[in-house]
């Protein structure tokens, strides 16, 4: 139960932050990516603002355990790999096209109107298909 309450608080802060910061407004995201247009710096402030509490939280994990027990995530994997780059490029293309990424896609469902539901449904379909797509890529071009 404690785990679910904490998940609700975390999700609530995440959703509120995405809403308040303007990151569910697709023109702000595309405006930040569009360095040749009327450049909008907001996204850099959102990223910077989010990284500060997270960096403190990571520092705080040293020598401690999570509140509900268990262990903290393992240290980051040092190996980069092809999938990281291929996946990030595909993600970036979709992000630029619609101005939405997974978090804001959920946070904007209630008030964004039908286009957000179309994007969300397509995103879920993509996530469902991803393991098969990854397997096919691996078979066609075996990794190093």
Residue for token pair 């008030």? 111
To the nearest 10 degrees (0 to 180), the angle between helices 42-60 and 2-21 is 150
Contact status: 38 vs another protein (CB under 8 A): yes
Q: Cα torsion at 106, 108, 109, 110 (round to 10°)?
A: 130
Contact status: 135 vs another protein (CB under 8 A): no
Applying CB under 8 A, among 54, 140, 141, 143 the residue interacting with another protein is 54
Distance CA 34, CA 102 (A): 20
Contact status: 140 vs another protein (CB under 8 A): no
Applying CB under 8 A, among 63, 131, 141, 144 the residue interacting with another protein is 131
Contact status: 36 vs another protein (CB under 8 A): yes
CB-nearer residue toward another protein: 4 or 140:
4
Contact status: 136 vs another protein (CB under 8 A): no
Specify the DSSP class assigned to residue 99: S
Contact status: 49 vs another protein (CB under 8 A): yes
Q: Which residues 104-123 are close enough to bind another protein by CB under 8 A? A: 105-113, 115-116, 118-123
Q: Smallest Cα–Cα separation from 29: which of 93, 91, 94, 96?
A: 96
């Amino acid at each position: 139960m404690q785990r679910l309450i904490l998940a609700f608080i975390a999700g609530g802060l995440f959703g509120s932050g995405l809403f308040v910061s303007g990151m569910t407004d697709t023109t702000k995201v595309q405006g930040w990516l569009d360095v040749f247009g009327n450049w909008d710096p907001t996204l850099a402030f959102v990223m910077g603002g989010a990284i500060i509490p997270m960096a403190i939280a990571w520092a705080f994990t040293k020598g401690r355990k999570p509140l509900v027990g268990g262990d903290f995530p393992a240290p980051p994997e040092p190996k980069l790999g092809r999938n990281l780059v291929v996946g990030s490029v595909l993600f970036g293309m979709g992000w630029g096209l619609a101005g939405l990424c997974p978090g804001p896609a959920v946070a904007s469902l209630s008030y964004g109107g039908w286009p957000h539901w179309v994007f969300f449904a397509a995103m879920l379909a993509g996530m469902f298909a991803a393991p098969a797509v990854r397997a096919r890529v691996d078979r066609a071009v075996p990794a190093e």
